[in-house]
A and B are shown apart, each in its own frame.
Chain A
Amino acid sequence: MSRDAARAGRPHAQQVLVTGCGVVSPLGRSLQDFDDALFAGLSAIEARSLALPGMDAIDLGVAACDFDPAVIRSSSRLPLDRGTAMALAAAEDAAEQAGLPKAVLDSERFGVFWGSGIGGSASFDAAAAGLYGEHRRMRPTTVLTVMPNAAVAEIALRFGARGSAIGYACACASSAVAIGEGLRAIRAGWIDVALVGGHEAMLTPGLMSAWHAMRVLAPVAASQEQARAACRPFSADRSGFALGEGAAAFVLESSAHAHARGAEADALLSGYATNCDARHISNPDAAGQSRAMAAALRDAGLRPEDIGHLNAHGTATTAGDAAEASSIEAVFGRAVPVSATKAIHGHLMGAGGAVELLATLRALAHRRLPPIAHLQVPDAGFGIDFVRGEARPAPALRHAMSNSFAFGGTNAVLVASRVD
């Protein structure tokens, strides 16, 4: 018996509450805007044209945030990368909601765990374009704005978190892993409070053309109407994803710490597992995904039938959705209703796990399941229960799962539960 299996059903010594959340997303920055789009299945994806010397002109779908990084002030007073600014904004909102600014914290028991696939990609793309194209030299602060842990460092600096400040880079699973590792650090007793989440802001010419070259993006005609429905997870006619940007942050807190300071929470992070397919650099592996979901269930002390909602990774690529439909079926059969929110907010890469955990938490809070937008005809080969059309009421919902599966083979699965 594995150690995981031995632990099944045994409660962790320390429950970990979600006492605050914040988001900068293509669906909006307020939870109200986020909910409105999420439950109505309203897509923020738009067509964008890109033409650069040396490449064919392309049209692609992007889900951008209505966000001005200049309104965010870094504690370091360095120029902020667009993604780092989003990270700080989300972290500030999460800390505000949790009441952290006023709380008396032991700074050495307060950590930051943050994910990003590439880090300061907007800054590096701009700096490189300036150097090669316009012969402008690099600035003294380029390294500090580009480094993958730039956002981690700014968040730790802003909130005086001295327990730890660790960045996680595992492509599309980055922020899910960061959140899970924060959970583990609190459970293990290393810290009491963690600011966790992730960001990604790579809607730059260099990164967009790199993604386009990989042939994983949904083809988009210049019409905005067509672009909005470009990403169709689990659909028979799916054709890939749209690039998104944004950040989401959560305050995780041991129940003892939260209760001692009178903090309220309506959800707890109840389970997490991560593993690696170790089979192929980019092709997903259903067996690895199933193992990760099963391990997350054991970590949460739950059975498959306890999960009332699953927010799938759902990238709308041919191979990705086929593997995930198969892995979900292997663990749950048709028993779990499945959403896939990339259809409306795009693929936020390193921030995807965090934004999709937020969608999962909103479903738990409202006991409503977000529909998979634009899903008219599901792929006939998929034997799972898709939430289609309108949001589905789920009055008995208590536990929900969010999947993140990454290039490189990293799988990360989070389980969240209602407190009541």
Chain B
Amino acid sequence: MTSTFDTVAEILQKDFHIEPAQLRPGMSLGELALDSLEMMEFVFALEDRFGQRIPEDRLDPGELGLSLERLCQVIDALREEPVKPLRRAA
């Protein structure tokens, strides 16, 4: 498991009370049983933690079939791209 996955797990535990033992990389976002508001809050928490705006075409909050593993890959790819840091985003 990657450090990105661990950080995602930490956010899910701290903010959404989902124990890390319940998480698997192949698990879909839908299986987290977050409602639409929680999903938005989750995406905000990810963006704040990783200092990156996650474009909607990479992660539609409504895209519940996305796996945690794929989510981590999206985040890792963004962090390697020369994307503008969050605070200067338009």
Contact = CB atoms under 8 A, between A and B. Distances in A.
A139 B44 contact: yes
Contacts of B41: 78-79, 139-141
A279 interface: no
B40 A77 contact: no
A73 B37 contact: no
B64 to A, nearest CB: 16
Interface in A126-142: 135-137, 139-141
Interface string A50-85: 000000000000000000001001000111000000
B38 A77 contact: yes
Interface in B35-56: 37-38, 40-41, 44-45, 48
A199 B21 CA distance: 35
Contacts of B87: 135-136
A141 B34 CA distance: 14
Contacts of B48: 136
A71 B6 CA distance: 21
Contacts of B34: 77
A141 B37 contact: yes
Nearest to A141: B41
Interface string A93-117: 0000000000000000000000000
Contacts of B45: 139
Contacts of B38: 77-78
Nearest to A79: B15
Contacts of A77: 16-17, 34, 38
Contacts of A144: 37
Interface residues of A, number: 12
Main secondary structure of the interface of B (DSSP, over half): helix
Nearest to B87: A135
Interface string A11-39: 00000000000000000000000000000
Contacts of B40: 140
Contacts of A79: 15, 41
- The A contact surface, by secondary structure, is loop
Nearest to A135: B87
A144 B44 CA distance: 15
A140 B16 CA distance: 14
B7 to A, nearest CB: 17
Contacts of A135: 87
Nearest to A74: B17
A140 B44 contact: yes
Contacts of A141: 37, 41
Nearest to A136: B48
Interface in B1-48: 14-17, 34, 37-38, 40-41, 44-45, 48
Nearest to A73: B17
Interface in A292-350: none
A245 to B, nearest CB: 23
Contacts of A70: 14
A313 to B, nearest CB: 39
Contacts of A78: 37-38, 41
Contacts of B44: 137, 139-140
A139 B39 CA distance: 12
B43 to A, nearest CB: 9
A144 to B, nearest CB: 8
Nearest to A77: B16
A141 B44 CA distance: 10
Contacts of A137: 44
Contacts of B37: 78, 140-141, 144
A69 to B, nearest CB: 12
A78 to B, nearest CB: 7
A79 B15 CA distance: 6
Nearest to B15: A79
A73 B16 CA distance: 9
Nearest to B36: A140
Closest 6 CB pairs of A and B: A140-B40, A141-B41, A140-B41, A73-B17, A139-B44, A77-B16
16 contacts: A73-B17, A77-B17, A78-B41, A79-B15, A79-B41, A135-B87, A136-B48, A136-B87, A139-B44, A139-B45, A140-B37, A140-B40, A140-B41, A140-B44, A141-B41, A144-B37
